[in-house]
Amino acid sequence: MSSNKLHLDVERCFNKKMGRELYYLSVGDVTKTGRVENHIIRDEKNLFYRDDKSKKISVFLPESYDGVTPHDILYFFDAQNLFCMAGEYTENGDPYGSWQLDLVISQLHRQYGKNIIVVGIDNADMYRSHELFMNPERFGKLTPLATDIPDDNFSKGYLESLSGFMVTTLHDFIKEKYCVKEDNIGIGGSSMGGIASFFCGLYEMGFYKYLLSYSPAYGLYEMSAFENWFKIIDLKKYTDKLPKIHIYCGGGDPLEQMLLPSAMAMKTTLVSYGYPSGRIFERYDSDKPHNEESWRLISPRAFHYFWICNLI
């Protein structure tokens, strides 16, 4: 692997919502990273389960975006917590701050000339636990962990439909609205979004070239469900189409500790069904809890793996 690294500093800033200091990414005195454009996309066929039949989408356009130079596309779940617009560390998204993806993507351009837009799918509503999970009647048995998480219902599972929306209606909109190219499309997410990005990356075989699966909720399903799915897919047939995968999980709080075993088992399981080991990069940190602070601090490693090391 290349010894080069994405140059992002880590600093402590006071977070008003948490009432304490948190760690954030920074790049010197950079205070501008680009802009975010918001859209409401309607799709009655794929989003039938939603009363409004539509999704809120947030598109981050880095300063490199001029409407003429084609940019790669990175689809990401939980748009509501992705972008900080560098410098505004305490006002946006989750109480733990955002992923700061705008800062990371902008630095990829400054340092390596990579041109990427991020298309964020908002999942902060009553449908979150429905649309970010697979239907257990078709995919496989839920574990007790799924029923032990309060206020969430994983029994419906409309992820296949949401995935269909993303690769058809949403992708068509992005191609028409923005100057993009389609040879390095990525997908990412954390927690529920972590299992969703993993499923979509393999379900839409060949569409996504890489995926980030952070603190993934694999453990809500029996591992046998994944094994049966891998058999049905027949991974060995798709060697050239299988996306590169970055799996990360912490262990610094009870939720991460529950998710960690299934995250750590996934690479071995994939490889046993024919997935090339060299396409899967793992990272675990037993001290990190389940929140955006952890995910933003680890995300530059994924972009180093995927983009700087010329693996896509």
Inside any domain, residue 266:
yes
Count of domains in the chain?
Answer: 1
Mean pLDDT by 10 residues, the chain (312 residues): 67 82 84 89 97 96 95 96 69 75 92 94 91 93 80 82 98 98 96 97 96 96 96 91 96 95 97 95 94 93 81 50
Which is nearest to 5 in space by CA: 301, 311, 306, 211?
Answer: 301
Question: What does the pLDDT read at residue 290?
Answer: 96
Inside any domain, residue 108:
yes
Inside any domain, residue 24:
no
Question: What does the pLDDT read at residue 3?
Answer: 39
pTM for this prediction: 0.94
With tokens 């299934």, the residue in question is 262
Inside any domain, residue 4:
no
3-state secondary structure at position 276? coil
Inside any domain, residue 228:
yes
Question: What does the pLDDT read at residue 2?
Answer: 37
Question: What does the pLDDT read at residue 46?
Answer: 98
Alpha-carbon distances, residue 289 vs 88, 169, 283 (angstroms): 23, 35, 14
Inside any domain, residue 14:
no
Inside any domain, residue 2:
no
Cβ proximity of 60 and 102 under 8 Å:
yes
Distance CA 196, CA 160 (A): 9
Residues with Cβ within 8 Å of 174's Cβ and at least 6 positions away in sequence, in order, are 59, 73, 119, 180
Question: What does the pLDDT read at residue 152?
Answer: 65
Q: Which domain holds residue 67?
A: 30-308
Question: What does the pLDDT read at residue 283?
Answer: 94
**CATH number of domain containing 188:** 3.40.50.1820
Inside any domain, residue 7:
no
